[in-house]
Amino acid sequence: MPNPEDNKTATLEDVLPTLKSPEAYIRGIFGHLNECKTKHGSALVRIGTATRGLIPDYRVFFQDETGQEFVFGTFYGDDHSPIQSVGPANGKWSSSSVIFDDVQNLLGKTQGWKGKYR
């Protein structure tokens, strides 16, 4: 993601070509999405746009019945551990989100799956 202006709407699929291990990255995100969906019934993810490295941090959200979003957790992209303090330096996120089913299909794609899960 060389141009910062392009980062504002970046999605997981946009960053896959820049990753050394795209499958491991998506698998880690999918694990957190699965946990969120189990607890709250929905899950979506946005990637960080302030990350200087090649592995973007990400934030997992869920929506209530009115469509309002709530943060489930914020995680480092390299090891998928929780980011404990989220302040202004780590507060720039893509405006584009990816839902659980699309991440599941993206994971399958990185594993060579040709079909669609849902």
* Per-residue pLDDT reduced to its tens digit, 69-102: 999 999 999 999 999 875 544 568 888 999 999 9
- 38 in a domain, yes or no? yes
Phi-psi region of 5 (alpha: psi -120 to 50; beta: other; left: phi over 0): alpha
Q: Give Rg (Cα) of the chain.
A: 14
- 117 in a domain, yes or no? no
- 59 in a domain, yes or no? yes
**Full residue range of the structural domain in which residue 87 is found:** 4-110
- How far is Cα 111 from Cα 100, in angstroms, rounded to an integer? 17
For residue 3, what are the CA distances in angstroms to 6, 34, 51, 52, 113? 5, 31, 12, 12, 31
- 49 in a domain, yes or no? yes
- 56 in a domain, yes or no? yes
- 78 in a domain, yes or no? yes
Q: What is the pLDDT of residues 66-76, one digit of tens each?
A: 999 999 999 99
